Amino acid sequence: MTHGASEPLPRYRLVVAYDGVAYHGFQLQGPNLDTVAGRLEDALARICPEGQEGGRVTVEGASRTDAGVHALGQVCAFSSRLTVPLDRLPVAVNSHLPADISVLSAERVPPEFEPRRHARSKTYAYHLWRSRVPSPFWRDRALHVVQELDLEACRAALAPLEGRHDFAAFRDMGSSAKTTVRTITRAELVSSPLPSGWPRPGEFITLRLTGDGFLYHMVRIILGTLLDVGWGRLPPLITRQALASGKRAALGQTAPAHGLWLERVVYGDGDGDTAGSAPGPEDLERRGFGGFHFP
């Protein structure tokens, strides 16, 4: 089938998982920086007619994810005169990707689909490995902390963030967002035991946030603030005060990128359609993925 100048190309949506350690984030950032989107475009160019004809296959993502940030369920889209059968597309793309990036699924979507603009919600998780002994397996995937945290104080600081608020205080310089108002529908802090045989005491702590969108470094600022609250450096009411004042300086530091994971991006009209979503860590553990330990 050919496509005329006025006829839009077929559009495809991919769900992608990646270990972000080796990459300068998801988004393209110039020819000399290795990015996840760049790797995906190179792989697609090998199987799409546009690439084989010397052109480019542009990949658009639901989240830009910073350097070092990981994803279990990044959603991206591209347009192409693709001839590879849809059910073979993940295998075809993966055959040209490095081992730290995997396409989990693929589907046809309307030509106007935009993964970022059409997302209904995103879920991010930030993992902490709290133990006096660091994990060689989680060293680049969870923030290692030694000192015990007052998790109840952390949860008291987290609770006011649920709902629709102006999160101006929870963004770093460099944000290009037109508005700082966001809605967080789920905010939780959970603790799980470390693997059996690991020196005690210790725990695996996960901050998980679901919302309609997140500002630049927003999750990492929230986590950094919770650490200061949990260690008694800031009072739990600091988050409520920051929402009211809009002042970034009142909050904790921006946590490092390597503990942050994009878990899920949801689309649909609220009738249960979550096309583009990916399993969380607990699901992956039950299915035999995830290496050493998922809490």
Residues with active-site annotation: 66
DSSP 21: G
Q: Which amino acid is at 39?
A: R
The 10 Å CB-count burial string (b at 16+, else e) for 185-210 is: eebebeeeebeeeeeeebbbbbbbbb
Q: How far is CA 231 from CA 140, 148, 149, 225, 226, in A?
A: 23, 7, 6, 10, 8
- With CA atoms as reference, report the closest residue to 168 among 155, 178, 154: 178
Measured CA angle at 192 (ends 261, 129), to 5 deg: 55
The answer to whether residues 134 and 145 touch, using CB atoms and an 8 Å cutoff, is: no
- Taking only Cα atoms into account, the Rg of the chain, rounded to an integer number of angstroms, comes to 20
| Element containing residue 61 per DSSP (H, E) | strand 60-61
